[in-house]
Amino acid sequence: MRLEGKVAIITGGASGIGLATVKKFVREGAKVLIADINLAQAEAAVAEIDALGFPGATAAGQVNVSIYKEVEAVVALAVKTFGKLDIIFNNAGIAGGKPLLDHDPEVDYMPMIRVDQDGVYYGILAAGRQFRDQGTGGVIISTSSIYGEQAAELAFSYSAAKAAVISFTRSAAYELAEYGVRAVAITPGRVGTPIINQFSDELKTLFASEQMRNKLTLPEEIADTVAFLASDEANAINGTVVHVDDGYSAFKQRFDLPSF
């Protein structure tokens, strides 16, 4: 088990990619604080993990990642509960959008920036300080997006926030290397999370067609990558962006070739 003895915080850990990663980490031997804005859902996730045969491997904590004091508190909770911190997966985020010229900045810009951008900054800062103080190093993994590297429909604010995550990751890797800390960003493509699964079959089919395998990526497939990146096997991966987009960023669309 490659995460044996490790302690992790996973934000947005009560559903979607976060919950899939909690399960993967636990199976790999880690202790995990499931940090989520929905405490009841986080507690339900703990009960689910216990029922799977891993009692005591997880704990729940409530956090609004857009508030630094709450992120700082959840780091302290992980240390109080499990004795230390080795990994943080800054995964919590929100989605949505509308055309730029229809924006109300307080509705369509600031919430996205506060959660998807500031929330990652706060996680890097709070965990980085804990890693420094422990003197044991650590790993910071943050969820960006394919949209963090390209323009897309209805995604002005979301793309900006996700691009910031990539920049944060590079700078964190540079500044925290002296403390033995690695920082990596992942860029998921179209993943079958509750956010996407709420859409029509027609739209989900379109999303799937944008990827090489012509299907939505499973949250568990993202979790497999995150677990590897969190492990010592990935020690040479630092300050980089790992694409987990099933080729989304490698091509535009499929089409029938014309006759030549």
The residues carrying an active-site annotation are: 158
- Compute the distance between CA of residue 148 and CA of residue 186 in angstroms, rounded to an integer: 10
How many Cβ atoms are within 10 Å of 216's Cβ, its own excluded? 21
Strand partners, 143: 186
Cα separation, 240 vs 233, whole angstroms: 15
Gap between the Cα atoms of 89 and 244, Å rounded: 15
Structure-block tokens of residue 252: 């535009």
Helix (H/G/I), strand (E/B), else coil: 9? strand
Residues for the chain: how many in total? 260
